[in-house]
Amino acid sequence: MISRGTSRGGYILLLVLMIILLVSGGLSLYGLRHNHLIMEEYKQAVFEADRQGQPDYKVDQLILRLKAHVENHMNANLQQDSDSEEDPIQLSYRHYRDTLVQWQKRMNNIDAKLVDQFKDIKKQCQTEDSLTSERLLCLKEKTRNIDFMPDPPLIAKADYTYNFTSPRFSTDLAGVSLVLFFMTLSIFVLRLLF
């Protein structure tokens, strides 16, 4: 509690502490939000590059940029849903393309006519709004009864998934502002009590 004997200097100190609290609190909120928005931007860049079929090295560069940001900044976790067991970054289009390439290689080893049949079936299954997993299922279903058609290759999806964890504290704007906020809050409370 503020005692009756608090001097004018004491009130000025409390006012300065309140200003520091407000500024550091605002900066920490801004920093945390900024970290999260940058992570979302980098994550979307990875998904877009994968969807567009960018070369693997370009997608890998974007993944490394995302990883560096997430692992060095607070509030940049990729995992939004803590109950989800799937990794948040899944390069499903790369998985789909690699599966098709391997599958066509198997067909070429058997008969080149199979590749032509496969291309026709692929056009039927490859609609704009279908997911890559739905496309693969469609291809498997439609090629099942074709003589001499090899089975699709089983490429592990785990090789196409990524998850990075952000630290609880980082020395960026958000972290330093939070430290300043809590130190100032402690001084403010102690000053009020004593």
Residue 90's SS3 state is strand
Per-residue pLDDT tens for 18-62? 999 999 999 999 999 999 999 999 999 999 999 999 999 999 999
Identify the CA nearest to 105 among candidates 94, 92, 114, 96: 114
User: pTM of this prediction?
Assistant: 0.82
CA 143 – CA 134 distance, rounded (Å): 14
Per-residue pLDDT tens for 91-146? 999 999 999 888 888 888 777 778 888 888 888 888 777 788 888 888 888 888 88
